A and B are shown apart, each in its own frame.
Chain A
Amino acid sequence: MKHGRYPFIIGFLIVPVAIYATFVIAAYVQAFQLSFTNWRGFSPDVSYIGFDNFVKLFHDDTFWKAIRHHVLLLVFLPLITIILALFFAFLLNVGGGSKGGRTRGVWGSKFYRVIFFFPQLLALALVAVIFSRVYAPDDSGLINGMLNQLGTGPVLFLADKHLALWSILAVLIWQAVGFYVVLFSAGMGSIPTEIYEAAALDGATRGTLFFKVTLPLLWNTMQVAWVYLGIAAFDAFALVSIMSVDSGGPDGATTVLGLEIYRNAFNYAQFGYASAMGVVLFFLTITFAALTLRVTRRDAIEL
């Protein structure tokens, strides 16, 4: 029955591939096409203007501002999220020491595992709305309501241009940590307990266990996490769009490429220019993913 195998595989793949081609690849191709036009979105006629959009982009201050914000997010979002997630995952799985030859988490770890995952279950838009209330500058805000009771004036989380992006970063981290706790937990679960036992017999402390055993064996998982979080850092559109003052403000202090694309396409009716931004974003994301995978490559440890 060997001759029937390829039609069989193709038969199963063709529908998803066709859907993918329609909604992802075709859309990408069209974005590339539009980035060389001055299409304004209201007429079927387009005229090609070569690389003008990209030249304009290069001289656009707002664009560079958005890029700088992405760089900041790119450094801190993966870093803080992974550190927190590793810490929690370690506590949940190994942190309780070993008993009867089995490592276990701290007391109540099953309960915490569920709690940590909760933010992941909320829609991003919902998270944004909730945190808008948490950060609200008047008495109705969760934090400022308390601060006002104590008489220490309001902290303008989203309205202060030095704080705004950090406040949004904090929400991104809060939302992401749960998923990576679960991811790392699964990774830790696949590390044979004998290795921990052997290390423990040799007198390793919890810290040594973590840095000398857990971390090296989790390298592949962390690499994946870094790429995922990096891509998330290139996005951040939903949170910025819903939470930020004066969309992307104050005064552009929180703007990201996604928001600028949206603004140029749907507010300024500059679809060609917006597509050019989209193309740049596409290459940035691809480059980042390729670089991360290349730079962090290490030999996998056979277990």
Chain B
Amino acid sequence: MSEIFKPEVDRRTLLRRAAAVGLLATPAVTMLSACVGGGDDKDDNAEKPAGTVSATNPLGIKEDEPLEIVIFNGGLGTKYATDVHIPSYNKLFPKSKVAFSQAEEIATVVQPRFTAGNPPDMVNNSGSKLMDQGALVQAGQVQDLTDLFAAPSLDIAGKTVKDTLIPGTVEQGTFKDKPYVLNYAFTVFGLWYSGKLFKDNGWTAPTTWADFTALLEKMKGKGITPFGYAGANAPYYMYTVLLTSAAKIGGADILKNIDNLEDGAWTNDAVKQAATAWAEVGAKYSNKAFLGLKHTEVQLQHNQYKVGLYPSGSWLENEQAKDTPAGFDYQLMPIPSVTAADKLPVTALYAAAGEQYFVASKGKNPRGGMEYLRHMLSKAGAIGFTQLTKTLTVVAGATDGMEISPGLTSGNKALGAAGADTFSFRFDTWYKKLDDELRAATNELFYQGGTADKFVTRMQKAADAIKADSSIEKFSR
């Protein structure tokens, strides 16, 4: 028995134990390599309903299967999920436990889980660190949403989910002829101004280019920077304006050609004219120092009445809610017509469904993920979202007649005036590289004395390079 109480552990035994600990660490090496090349368990439980299909359960989810969702925590917050959509889902399926988490960097948090093969069921792929949606689809990680759109709406009687949506929504999330992504928030894009500033000065929203430059001139005279965007991180806002002008001049097909990487899609006259017009605004009516500013800094100056017109989407009002002085009265104006012979009227708008939500095809509960989206697309779900985020959804007319905020009303009015003349582009999510090149080219054109010719040649070259690159999957619409 004295063996147990032996006062000192033999040194060699100790070392052998230490060595054993070291050996334990080595298998981790092989585990790491297993991330690539291994683990291809393709259990496609996605296509068939897991539970019984019924009127209240049209997608046939398994009622006690837990559901995991990840929401991007950015300008829209996460309250709409925790306070509106999850309760709605749980009301119908109380036994399905929802595991909610939020992330500010979606790719950082979620991407490793896709690679490892245990993704969350529903992901809000958004923010500056979003995952490349095209690559996700290419890798077969995204659930086909056809069944969701064909299912009956949760609370709009007699209609399928698809029937309740603004036309174009399903197409906006379509890759290779199949709907893979729900773009939920509906964004109207234009030039924002303070209703108060305009009223105090007796200014009105111009519709022609001559009136527009005259207004910019007046603003300049008042010591206001007439127009500007943040070059450091938001040239995207400006190129949306530029391409909107191009679409108005030459018709919405201009954007379609750009998306489809057609030959000469950038070097045509419409894009060139738009670039010329906006390069002049950049040279005469902006401040070159804005190239070094971030979007929040320019937006703050806008709120301080130091910037007249600011290009942005309808998320702006909510994003600036904290800094907006009382009575600022956010208003939206469509981009004025560049020429009198523009193919589309001045009321035409860049408007698109944005903010991506998708279901993981290789997750544990893909049917549940789709059911969750059905709750987001219910009328009650849409109203709750708009009230909390001051952002419209793709559910058509869900908040009609509700007074929520001046900016939202103004955007809604512009959308009504535009009628069928709304358009958008997709290349920025399809080809991230083209998006980056356009950001740099736009900064050059607007703030660094670039010319329209240089701009279109540069972009055509970038688009051609992507077209020729076989490693990038191509999409078309």
Contacts and interface: CB of A to CB of B under 8 A. Distances in A.
Interface of A: 4, 7-8, 10-12, 14-15, 17-19, 21-22, 26-27, 29-30, 33-34, 38-46, 52, 135-138, 140, 144, 154, 156-159, 161, 245-247, 249-252, 263, 266-270, 272-273
Interface string B13-47: 01110110111011011001101111110000000
Contact of B288 (A4, A18, A159): A159
Given A4-B11, A158-B232, A251-B440, 20 more contacts: A7-B19, A8-B11, A10-B15, A11-B16, A11-B19, A14-B18, A14-B22, A15-B18, A19-B25, A26-B29, A34-B36, A43-B140, A44-B35, A44-B38, A44-B117, A138-B297, A156-B292, A250-B291, A252-B440, A269-B132
5 contacts: A7-B16, A10-B15, A41-B111, A136-B293, A269-B132
Contacts of B292: 135-137, 156-159, 245
A146 to B, nearest CB: 15
Given A10-B19, A138-B293, A38 B141 contact: no
Contacts of B141: 42-43
Interface of B: 11-12, 14-16, 18-19, 21-23, 25-26, 28-29, 32-33, 35-40, 107, 111, 114-115, 117, 129, 131-132, 135-136, 138-141, 231-233, 235, 288-293, 297, 301, 432-433, 436, 439-441, 443-444, 447-448, 471
Given A15-B18, A30-B32, A269-B132, A42 B289 contact: no
A169 to B, nearest CB: 17
A205 B15 CA distance: 59
A42 B139 contact: yes
A236 B243 CA distance: 35
Contacts of B135: 40-42, 269
A42 B114 contact: yes
Nearest to B116: A44
A2 to B, nearest CB: 13
A273 B469 CA distance: 12
A18 B25 contact: yes
Contact of A4 (B12, B19, B233, B436): B12
A246 to B, nearest CB: 6
A135 B111 CA distance: 35
B39 A44 contact: yes
A39 B38 CA distance: 13
A267 B141 CA distance: 18
Nearest to B35: A44
A159 B294 CA distance: 12
Contact of A7 (B15, B233, B440, B447): B15
Nearest to A3: B12
A271 to B, nearest CB: 9
Contacts of B39: 44
A252 B25 CA distance: 42
A251 B444 contact: yes
A81 B114 CA distance: 44
Contacts of A161: 448
B26 A15 contact: no
A267 B448 contact: no
A278 to B, nearest CB: 14
Contacts, number: 158
B289 A41 contact: no
A164 B28 CA distance: 43
A183 to B, nearest CB: 33
Contacts of A263: 436
Nearest to B21: A15
B126 to A, nearest CB: 14
B443 A18 contact: no
Contact of A15 (B22, B32, B37, B440): B22
A14 B38 CA distance: 28
A22 B291 contact: no
Contact of A11 (B18, B29, B111, B138): B18
A249 B289 CA distance: 14
Given A251-B448, A267-B132, A11 B291 contact: no
A172 B18 CA distance: 42
B37 A7 contact: no
A14 B16 CA distance: 11
B379 to A, nearest CB: 34
Contacts of B29: 21-22, 26
Contacts of A266: 107, 129
Contacts of A137: 289-293
B36 A26 contact: no
A57 to B, nearest CB: 12
A27 B36 CA distance: 12
Which 8 residue pairs of A and B lie closest in terms of their CB atoms, listed nearest first?
Answer: A14-B22, A159-B292, A43-B139, A42-B139, A137-B289, A11-B15, A269-B135, A269-B132
A151 to B, nearest CB: 15
Contacts of A267: 132, 432, 436
A46 B15 CA distance: 41
B464 to A, nearest CB: 14
A46 B37 contact: yes
Name the residue among A27, A34, A42 with the largest chain B CB count within 10 angstroms. A42
Contacts of B12: 4, 7
Given A8-B15, A41-B135, A44-B39, A246 B232 contact: yes
A36 B235 CA distance: 34
A45 B25 contact: no
A250 B139 CA distance: 33
Contact of A26 (B33, B131, B301): B33
A238 to B, nearest CB: 16
Contacts of A45: 37, 40
Contacts of B439: 246, 249
Nearest to B17: A11
Name the residue among A12, A27, A33, A156 with the largest chain B CB count within 10 angstroms. A156
Nearest to B39: A44
A170 B231 CA distance: 22
